[in-house]
Chain A
Amino acid sequence: MDIPYTVSARPDTGLYNAKVGVWLFLASEVMLFGGLFSAYIFLRVGADYPWPVHELNVTMGFINTLVLIGSSVTVLLAWASIKLRKFTAYKVYMAITIACALTFMVIKSFEYRSKFTHYSVTMTDGTILTGHLPHGFDIEFGEVNELTLTVAGKTASIDANPVSYVLPYIKGTAPSFKTEAGEDIQLDSTSFAKLADEARAKAREKQKAEGLKETPNWSIKLKAASPITFSVPPSKLLAKPALDAKSISFRDGTTVEGKIINDKMTIEVDGVDLRGTPEKEKSLAWNEHYLGSAWKNFFIHQRDEAIAEFSKKYDDGKGGLSRDPNKSATHQKEQFYLHIHSPKPESHEASNAAHGAEVHAPKEGHDAGHASHHPEVQLERKDVQFYSNFTPKLNSYYAIYFTLTGLHGLHVIAGALVLAYFLIFDGRRLRENPEHMANRIEVGGLFWHFVDLVWIFLFPLLYLL
């Protein structure tokens, strides 16, 4: 059956059918993004932290904006080329459009990746340290001689599965275990399945003997041949262990007793945000075993410089200021957000001299690789209130950032797929019915412009303002 009005206009609407369809679709898309932009406003107004401005990579966002604008132009040129029956030009413009879409996604994925690997650590006094965790963050828990597995009765939500949830976090190779029956086993899925079956059988016997309604849970104790040390990220545990925890539970309910050996977090600090710290000069970050007084002095110097500059810039000529320093988000950031680019604070005389005709001595530790560009700090867990990489978990800004750009990215992919289909699989239509083909490109193009239009708002709202 032929679909009517693919080329000529339907008399009552004055439009070919696909165009009516795509506009209805775009209308619903406007509602979808409208709802999310509305959510953005609510989150921004309700945020109890300084809303990040210029915190994303502006250069990458700017390039991506140009890429999308460029692709909007080329998709129109592709359409015009069909109208002019220049089929080769059409193919070239269409290929450029799709290449732009790919470029956009590649740039976006670099941006995402840099956020996933970057961490923000809020200390108990409100100071935020940002940086990379070169070894991730694991809690080392040692002197463990015994595993207590809990094989669930019927209704429990947690069932022992040490092979997936416990064994991967043993430091070194897993020792052999002795079962309660005195048998030596290597814990693996076969041996565990056997143990679990035995446990369930015992649990059912008990159920029968005592006339219980439900099968009870059954504990299995496994003695380790040699003491075990675990190295496990806190997220893989059932609950955050106390500071002096004598036992930890894994997510499958397996409990072990022992003691915490090392729960320090190693972070290569690239930023200290003191905007949420009540007493900036007494921040935990300046503890001698953390960043220390050298960085504190560097901070004080930078803050005073920022204040002096602000006073000069907004001098109203009557000894006052024409702008409230407490209400300037930029000034707050300049004063209290220290960016760190070197392993040790450069003294200001030294950096001034470096601009002169002095011989440039290589910076200390310059060749020692990536880690040496930032001071490395070992944070004690008692000082850490919250930590997260720059993902939706961190705060509502990153939540809405990933929601909006993620959904937009899916639109870019969808649009590129449709346009690629036209280019690759619609060759016959192009030769036999170019007017129909032009209409198809127009409809695909309308969607593509809409994707561009959404980005036109996303870029300033998330990157710039």
Chain B
Amino acid sequence: MADSPEEIYKSIKKIKVIGLMLAVFTILTVGLSYVELPTHSLNIIVGMILATIKAALVALIFMHLNHEKVLIYKFLAFTITFVLALFILFYASSTDPLVFDGF
């Protein structure tokens, strides 16, 4: 934990820089959504990559997950497993047992 005044001043600077980066990424996301990429799926993928970068900045720096105690990483390991399971549900559903191509 950054506790000495010098470190706090340093982290204030960092916070402001990250805030600015987040704003820039937001502008980029909006701008890119008006550019028609070869397929719309590509637009979605690019948009989600940008959103993930932003989310990572918030989680790692603002929520200081870049240097946190082991216990919290253990909690999050469970969370991530279950959230991934939720999204894998979607892939599992794409093999629809009712659609049968024949022998």
Contact = CB atoms under 8 A, between A and B. Distances in A.
Whether A associates with B in a native complex is yes
Interface residues of B, number: 48
Interface of A: 13-15, 19-20, 23-24, 27, 30-31, 34-35, 37-38, 41-42, 45, 53-54, 58, 62, 65-66, 69-70, 72-73, 76-77, 80, 83-84, 323, 327-330, 445-446, 449-450, 452-453, 456-457, 459-461, 464-465
Contacts of B22: 69, 72
17 contacts: A13-B71, A15-B72, A31-B79, A37-B86, A38-B89, A41-B87, A45-B90, A65-B26, A70-B19, A72-B22, A73-B18, A76-B62, A83-B8, A84-B8, A449-B62, A452-B62, A465-B33
A11 B53 CA distance: 34
B69 A69 contact: no
Contacts of A53: 33, 40
Contact of B47 (A83, A329, A460): A460
Contact of B58 (A31, A42, A449): A449
Interface string B35-46: 010111001100
A58 B40 CA distance: 18
B75 A34 contact: no
A104 to B, nearest CB: 14
Contacts of B43: 465
Given A15-B71, A446-B63, A459-B26, 10 more contacts: A13-B71, A31-B83, A54-B34, A58-B30, A65-B26, A73-B15, A453-B58, A453-B59, A457-B48, A459-B51
A66 B20 CA distance: 10
A72 B47 contact: no
Contacts of B33: 53-54, 460, 464-465
A323 B47 contact: no
Interface of B: 3, 5, 8-9, 11-12, 15-16, 18-19, 22-23, 26, 29-30, 33-34, 36, 38-40, 43-44, 47-48, 50-51, 54-55, 58-59, 62-63, 69-72, 75-76, 78-79, 82-83, 86-87, 89-90, 93
A31 B30 contact: no
Contact of B62 (A72, A328, A459): A72
Given A34-B86, A457-B55, A460-B51, A69 B15 contact: no
Contacts, number: 123
A69 B40 contact: no
A41 B88 CA distance: 11
Contacts of B89: 38
Contact of A73 (B8, B16, B59, B86): B16
Given A83-B3, A460-B51, A76 B15 contact: yes
A62 B27 CA distance: 8
A366 to B, nearest CB: 31
Contacts of B93: 42
A454 to B, nearest CB: 9
Given A62-B30, A77-B12, A457 B76 contact: no
A72 B58 contact: yes
Contacts of B54: 456
B15 A27 contact: no
Contacts of A460: 29, 33, 47-48, 50-51
